[in-house]
Structure 1
């Protein structure tokens, strides 16, 4: 009821026009109705509250009841067979080969290799994350995520890169990763790390 006030239009279709499906409440909220050919007068009365749909010819022949009136109008809708739909689709397909935007397709030559994608993954925060892990001794993606305010996938990718670089050991279930590289406290430069 509120959808009509908001301008929402709803079309309800059924192949089984029974009073169980088309209740009085549903019919009250669908003021305009269309009925195609049905098999019995009961089905016609269920849809339109009157006889007539049982005498329709089929293939687009229909009765239309507009909103606010109980007057029926017999109209003819376009009947399109499955074969005609196939012919239209074939005609459209035969008009030419598809044209794809180059921006949205990446060929194998342009796709980055595994090494290139790893280099891209070493973003500007990788070195900071590496130093954070070494100085704190905590090697976990959630720790990097909290301290550096990055998303979990990015933090996890940095931990995996640190494993490849020999900074941290492999994952051992729920236990923290072993720190393989320690900081030399006497030196305060980037070269202060030892393996």
Structure 2
């Protein structure tokens, strides 16, 4: 996949992205919000990063202005729903780029790609209940709240967390796009 957006390119991960990945994956502000332990050293980081490349469902978020990889977005071919036309999103972003609207831009473009280039009928996304930054991105992108799974999973540090889940159907997306286009072309008398 290769999507060129306003400020970023969403593309396949490459081994040349490792240094940019490692820069933020070691921080305790990134992984714990998504449920993964900060990368403890470069050797472990290389193993984790290699497995992400091999999975082929994790994509780089690259800034157009300087070609720096600042995060990832994953498109998994499964979700909590037991239905074959479901994809689930996951994302992480270098905290130096938080609160700039970048992840919202990325997710909106990936939603459009999924509904126009795949046979997906439902996109799911979730966040740990205390991850308010992800919640904000998800809601800004138009996902509808499905509910909370209490005691969803045990994290690497032994904490048991709840998770909130959201979804968007292809029909909901098409209605939203049609509505937004109508607003942009509305002629007032």
Considering the TM-score relative to the shorter chain, is it more than 0.5?
no
TM-score, with length taken from structure 1: 0.22
The one of the two structures with greater contact order (alpha-carbon pairs below 8 A, sep at least 6) is 2
- When Rg is computed on C-alpha atoms for both structures, the one with the higher figure is 1
